[in-house]
Chain A
Amino acid sequence: MGHTIALAGNPNSGKTTLFNSLTGARQQVGNYPGVTVEKKTGVYKINGLELTLVDLPGTYSMTAYSLEEVIARDFIATEKPAVVVDIVDAANLERNLYLTLQIIEMGVPVCIALNMIDVAEGRGVRIDAERLSDLLGVPVVPTVARSGRGKRQLMEAAATAADIPSRAKGPDVSYGADIDNALSEMEPLISEAGFLVQYYPARWVALKYLEADEQIVSAGQAADPVLSSRLVQIADRVASHLSATLDTDPESVIADQRFGFIKSIIRQGVVRVDNEQNRLYLSDKIDRVLINRLAGPVIMAGVVLLLYHLTFALSEVPAAWMESGFGALRGLADAHMAEGMLKSLVISGIIDGVGGVLGFVPIILLMFVGITILEDSGYLARVAFMLDRVFKVFGLHGSSVMPFIVSGGIAGGCAVPGVMAARTLKSPKERLATLLTVPFMNCGAKLPVFALLIGAFFAGYKAWVMFAVTVISWAGALLVARLLRMTVIRGEPTPFIMELPPYRLPTLQGVIIHAWERTWQYIRKAGTVILAISVLLWAMMSFPTLPEQRAEMFGPGQQAELARAELQYSVAGRIGTSLEPATSLAGFDWRTNIALVGGFAAKEVIVSTMGTAYSMGEVDAEKSSGLSARLSNSDHWSPLTAFALIIFVMFYSPCFVAVVCIAREAGSWKWALFSMGFNTVLAFLLAVAVYQAGSLLGF
């Protein structure tokens, strides 16, 4: 039996590196209840004691401002970890201690890891850990998370702090006369009523009322409305007094006093600086080039292209292995199973479905290796910084760029890792708008469809049409993002107050753990749902079966015609046929409709289903020249129809693998269903507009 220890700290303080170093591969990744924020736990053994470590989300503060902060705060208050280990960046002491002070305010035992002490020393900053410990009243252990230096001492100190039942009382911070008086008035009222005290210390609750903390005030309102109103009254009185006398508010005063307290501690001999202050560090020198207004964008384009090409080129090899592996499995089932529905289910439903799920694994893994390297090195924040101005216009965020590019902003990506890459976005509204618009990009699976149609109807200007297709998808995605941000995801832009972390070499362990976790989550969570949908789609394209007497009408040489008739008779075929009156407005007949229904499974399926619908048998998506010739000779088809179909395929519902990922990342199926419905309607309207306008103009 051991203690639970929570790891808290600023983003970029080395918290995750320390957590990885302490727990190694023995980590469990889950989600905090009801939200998409990851919860990582692991175990550290020391002196026969098993300590359970929980990696809280990185935060700068403990207000109820962001989801991460609420989660970290709730965990400390309700789960009552034996100790909170606060990881503090030694090279950046003042700002990091702001969070420390707020954790101490919560009345839990705290132990400070003075991390990256080597970096601070390298800068000529010497920190007296003992002095800091005396002044704050909590143990302070210098550490270097990367090398593991000090981690054992840290865990010993944490275990000791957990064993001492009398909680070391933190320092008494004065928030100035106005606030202090109000606190003294409120604290006894709260203690006597036992108001919220099961979770929080009385003084802390009083402080939160003065800060007008929405979460605490509404919890208080529910627990004891009378007392809560009384506290709000006192807080309002202080607020109007401060507003009248000092033109400020309690929140600002409290924050100023906290920083004042920290400054006074630091001045009491905690920090000694050997060199002159504010000299340029290595990161600043690198930034002179990498975020230079001229060189910066050029280098960025190069880095992004390199990441993109490496990922897709390297993933081709393992993807081909998997494909041939599943091909062999398919062959095995084909050779050893009796003809019939069960065989069809196993081959077309299960093997193809599982193959479809696992086929994405190499690309997701490699994409996250690349993105983790960019993120951990600090470069991704610079990319967001340079591009924010552009994306802001469309209601997005500088960090939206990666998901867009990965999804196929440079033709040939994939929306599945693209959607998952949106996790680097911390602002909820911008993130949702990104999730919903990245599927408009031209992923690798849409390209064979475009290649087929361009080959058949625009063979003379392939490059130009491909270029136009890329421009249209970007324009469409950004404009739709703007539209969404003005309607269903309305709201002020999230502040772009962001840290540009110092450049650091990513750790191998960090990159591997991170990329593997993402991939494993995809396999485990998305995989099951995707398999079920795959079987459902198979059933839709196979049932009901053609009545025997009709099937008998096809001779042995008419396999392809039989397949066409079977497809037309199935649920999917009937849907396609019944939609024909509507889709003819865009120039699509029932054959195209069935192919588009199949395309919901995976866009690659569009080409092969069209092949079946045109009685050509199974058409390989990569070798579609026969079908291409067939289309260009058909009366039904014109370049205009082809263009309308290109537009439709570009914008309609994401494939269901992407839909499942959107549901997971957005935290609700509501948005996934929205993306299916909205995108399909939008695509249809655009295709109709293109077809009708084109017809009027005589194309």
Chain B
Amino acid sequence: MQKINMRQMKQRQSGKISAIRARGELGRRMRDMGLVPGTVFTVKGRAPLKDPVALRIAGFTLTLRNSEADFIEVEVE
């Protein structure tokens, strides 16, 4: 178990959000879409230019830019 930045995750790698450091509008938007500590997800894929990234969460798929993923710390195996 180690903690890494979401940007560093590989295709199809799974993880659990341990902390979100975004405040203000970005932080609120992340929470509203279900990105909260404890959320388990898998990296579904990246766009052709490697940015944004698509995340598969329990019942749905979310996308976010790498610059936004930087605010998310993830626990991975």
Q: Give B40's nearest chain A residue, CB to CB.
A: A278
A89 to B59, CA, bound (A): 10
- Contacting residues, chain B, for A387 (C-beta < 8 A): 47
How many B residues have CB within 8 A of the partner chain?
38
B47 adjacent to A389 (CB under 8 Å) = yes
How many A residues have CB within 8 A of the partner chain?
46
Q: A385-B63, A498-B63 are in contact. Are A251 and B28 (CB under 8 A)?
A: yes
A259 adjacent to B36 (CB under 8 Å) = yes
A348 to B33, CA, bound (A): 54
Q: Give A95's nearest chain B residue, CB to CB.
A: B34
- Contacting residues, chain A, for B23 (C-beta < 8 A): 249
Q: A256-B37, A497-B30 are in contact. Are A92 and B60 (CB under 8 A)?
A: yes
| Pairs A-B, 5 closest by C-beta atoms | A92-B59, A61-B32, A389-B49, A500-B61, A95-B34
A388 adjacent to B47 (CB under 8 Å) = yes
Q: Give B67's nearest chain A residue, CB to CB.
A: A493
B25 within 8 A of A: yes
B25 adjacent to A495 (CB under 8 Å) = yes
A:403-444 near B, CB below 8 Å: none
A296 within 8 A of B: yes
- Contacting residues, chain B, for A95 (C-beta < 8 A): 33-34, 57, 59-60
A390 to B65, CA, bound (A): 12
Q: Enumerate chain B interface residues (CB-CB to A < 8 A).
A: 20, 23, 25-38, 42, 44-52, 54, 56-65, 68
A179 to B34, CA, bound (A): 21
Most B-side CB within 10 Å, residue of A249, A251, A259, A496: A496
A497 adjacent to B63 (CB under 8 Å) = yes
**Stretch in A152-160, A283-291, A302-310, A569-577 with 4+ CB within 8 Å of B:** A283-291
- Contacting residues, chain A, for B34 (C-beta < 8 A): 94-95, 98, 259
Interface contacts beyond A294-B48, A495-B26: sample of 13 additional A-B pairs, CB < 8 Å, sorted by A: A89-B59, A91-B59, A287-B61, A291-B47, A385-B54, A386-B47, A387-B47, A388-B52, A389-B47, A389-B50, A398-B52, A497-B35, A501-B61
- Contacting residues, chain B, for A251 (C-beta < 8 A): 27-28, 31
- Contacting residues, chain B, for A501 (C-beta < 8 A): 60-61
Q: Give A295's nearest chain B residue, CB to CB.
A: B48
Partner of B44, one of A284, A388, A398: A284
Partner of A255, one of B36, B52, B58, B62: B36
Q: Enumerate chain A interface residues (CB-CB to B < 8 A).
A: 60-61, 63, 65, 89, 91-95, 98, 249, 251-252, 255-256, 259, 277-278, 283-284, 287-288, 291-294, 296-297, 381, 385-390, 392, 398, 495-502
Q: A284-B44, A385-B47, A386-B47 are in contact. Are A500 and B63 (CB under 8 A)?
A: yes
- Contacting residues, chain B, for A92 (C-beta < 8 A): 58-60
B64 adjacent to A283 (CB under 8 Å) = no
Taking the closest CB of chain A, its distance from the CB of B57, in whole angstroms, is 8
- Contacting residues, chain A, for B38 (C-beta < 8 A): 259
Partner of B32, one of A65, A287, A296, A500: A65
B59 adjacent to A63 (CB under 8 Å) = no
Taking the closest CB of chain B, its distance from the CB of A279, in whole angstroms, is 11
A92 to B34, CA, bound (A): 11
- Contacting residues, chain B, for A63 (C-beta < 8 A): 28, 32
A311 to B34, CA, bound (A): 38
Q: A60-B33, A278-B42 are in contact. Are A496 and B25 (CB under 8 A)?
A: no
Query: Can you list 29 A-B contacts (CB < 8 A)?
Result: A60-B32, A61-B28, A65-B25, A65-B32, A94-B59, A95-B33, A95-B34, A95-B60, A278-B42, A284-B56, A287-B44, A287-B54, A287-B61, A291-B54, A292-B45, A293-B47, A381-B63, A385-B54, A388-B51, A388-B52, A389-B49, A389-B52, A495-B25, A495-B65, A496-B52, A497-B35, A497-B62, A498-B64, A500-B63
A477 to B48, CA, bound (A): 23
Q: A95-B34, A389-B52 are in contact. Are A497 and B29 (CB under 8 A)?
A: yes
A278 to B68, CA, bound (A): 25
Q: Give B68's nearest chain A residue, CB to CB.
A: A495
- Contacting residues, chain B, for A293 (C-beta < 8 A): 45-48
A495 adjacent to B42 (CB under 8 Å) = no
- Contacting residues, chain A, for B29 (C-beta < 8 A): 65, 495, 497
- Contacting residues, chain A, for B52 (C-beta < 8 A): 385, 388-389, 398, 496
A252 adjacent to B32 (CB under 8 Å) = no
Taking the closest CB of chain B, its distance from the CB of A661, in whole angstroms, is 29
A27 to B23, CA, bound (A): 41
- Contacting residues, chain A, for B54 (C-beta < 8 A): 287, 291, 385, 500
- Contacting residues, chain B, for A93 (C-beta < 8 A): 59
- Contacting residues, chain B, for A291 (C-beta < 8 A): 45, 47, 54
Q: Give B56's nearest chain A residue, CB to CB.
A: A284
A499 adjacent to B33 (CB under 8 Å) = yes
A498 adjacent to B62 (CB under 8 Å) = yes
- Contacting residues, chain A, for B28 (C-beta < 8 A): 61, 63, 65, 251, 255
Taking the closest CB of chain A, its distance from the CB of B46, in whole angstroms, is 7
A256 adjacent to B36 (CB under 8 Å) = yes
A251 to B20, CA, bound (A): 13
- Contacting residues, chain B, for A392 (C-beta < 8 A): 65
Most B-side CB within 10 Å, residue of A91, A94, A256, A389: A389
- Contacting residues, chain B, for A259 (C-beta < 8 A): 34, 36, 38
B25 adjacent to A500 (CB under 8 Å) = no
A426 to B68, CA, bound (A): 18
Q: Give A381's nearest chain B residue, CB to CB.
A: B63
B61 adjacent to A98 (CB under 8 Å) = no
Most A-side CB within 10 Å, residue of B20, B45, B48: B48
Taking the closest CB of chain A, its distance from the CB of B49, in whole angstroms, is 4
- Contacting residues, chain A, for B27 (C-beta < 8 A): 251-252
A292 to B48, CA, bound (A): 8
A255 adjacent to B33 (CB under 8 Å) = no
Partner of B31, one of A252, A283, A297: A252
A98 adjacent to B32 (CB under 8 Å) = yes
A496 adjacent to B64 (CB under 8 Å) = yes
B61 adjacent to A388 (CB under 8 Å) = no
A296 adjacent to B36 (CB under 8 Å) = no
A497 to B33, CA, bound (A): 8
B59 adjacent to A388 (CB under 8 Å) = no
- Contacting residues, chain B, for A496 (C-beta < 8 A): 52, 63-65, 68
